[in-house]
Amino acid sequence: MRIVRDVAAVRAAVAGAGRVGLVPTMGAFHEGHLSLIRAARQACDLVVVWLFVNPTQFNEAADLAGYPRDEERDARLAAECGADILFAPPVEEVYPDGFATTVTVSGIADVLEGAHRPGHFDGVATVVAKMFAMVAPEVAYFGAKDAQQVAVVRRMETDLNLPVRIEVLPIVREPDGLAMSSRNVRLDPDQRRRATVLHRGLAAGRAAVAAGERDAGAAAAVVARELARASITAEYIAVVDPDTFAPLERIERPALIALAARVGPVRLIDNMEVAP
């Protein structure tokens, strides 16, 4: 596996390489990331892993400053999973002097994460559009953990006729249900234990829907009650259409329950599909 720092080198590497698969990441790899790299390895001729802690998608300076980084370990893990190229550009390569263009996706990007993290999805959409332009992948791999990000990227891909196929892989969880996240390493042991309630809350919501609950507010309240048992108040718990992220009042078709909550200093998100 080669580590590449500049756009010219990555373009040279992908030219004529056959089916190129791109795995966008911010590093600090866990099994969630590795599942995407392995899927790309199975389906593609050349696998490019993008490793870049994108400053423009952080809306809190402390979150950016505290974001875990370990390129050496990431490079080893990516190589073990069969990546061909680790594309890890410096900030100036992605945002050169005079950079002035932002991709804004309206609607989907304005609710939930978008409402609570102003500017977040502008940062995501812009950097994803840039990496699609830099790497020209045939397929790009994303995790269902960031379900709204997937919806935003799909909207952008459709609206801008981007010649890339979006593949989405399921959420990888710890044995106790906690969704894997690079931010989990910032939880102390007590917070780590309490964080498992996010998954239990979502599972309780899903069970309520499976048992006949059709009122979205009531299903969300089931999740909130579970979180309260661990003294956690969510920033939001929302029942939405999985494609548009429009809020639902009634659950008459497959839907998504999405939530964000702070556990100690760490903001975590999770989601689960529910079906009547």
Q: Which residues from 138-177 bind ligand AMP, rule CB under 6 A?
A: 142-143, 145-146, 169, 171-172
Which residue from 21, 22, 33, 137 is in contact with ligand AMP, where contact means CB under 6 A?
A: 33
**What are the tokens at 228?**
């309260």
AA identity, residue 226: E
Angstrom distance (rounded) from CA 58 to CA 63 = 7
x/- mask, ligand AMP, residues 71-110, rule CB under 6 A, reads ----------------------------------------
Give the x/- contact pattern for ligand AMP in 209-238, rule: CB under 6 A.
------------------------------
C-beta of 40 vs 251, nearer to ligand AMP:
40
Residue type (1 letter), 93: E
Active site residue 120: no
Min dist. Cβ of residue 150 to ligand AMP (A): 7
* Cα three-residue angle 166-170-171, rounded to 5 degrees: 120
Pattern of binders to ligand AMP over 170-199, x per CB under 6 A? Answer: -xx------xxxx-----------------
| CA 105 from centre of chain | 16
R_g over Cα of the chain: 19
From 33, 116, 120, 199, the catalytic residue = 33
CA distances from 85 to 6, 17, 54, 129 (A): 12, 12, 19, 19
Residue from 25, 126, 148, 191 binding ligand AMP (CB under 6 A): 25
| Minimum distance from residue 276 beta carbon to ligand AMP (Å) | 25
Among residues 10, 13, 14, 26, the one that binds ligand AMP under rule CB under 6 A: 26
Distance CA 113, CA 194 (A): 22
Count of CB atoms situated within 10 Å of the CB of 42:
10
Distance CA(194)–CA(184), nearest Å, equals 12
Reduce the DSSP state of residue 263 to 3 states and report it: strand
Catalytic residues, by residue number, are: 33
Give the footprint of ligand AMP on this chain (CB under 6 A): 25-26, 32-33, 35-36, 142-143, 145-146, 169, 171-172, 179-182
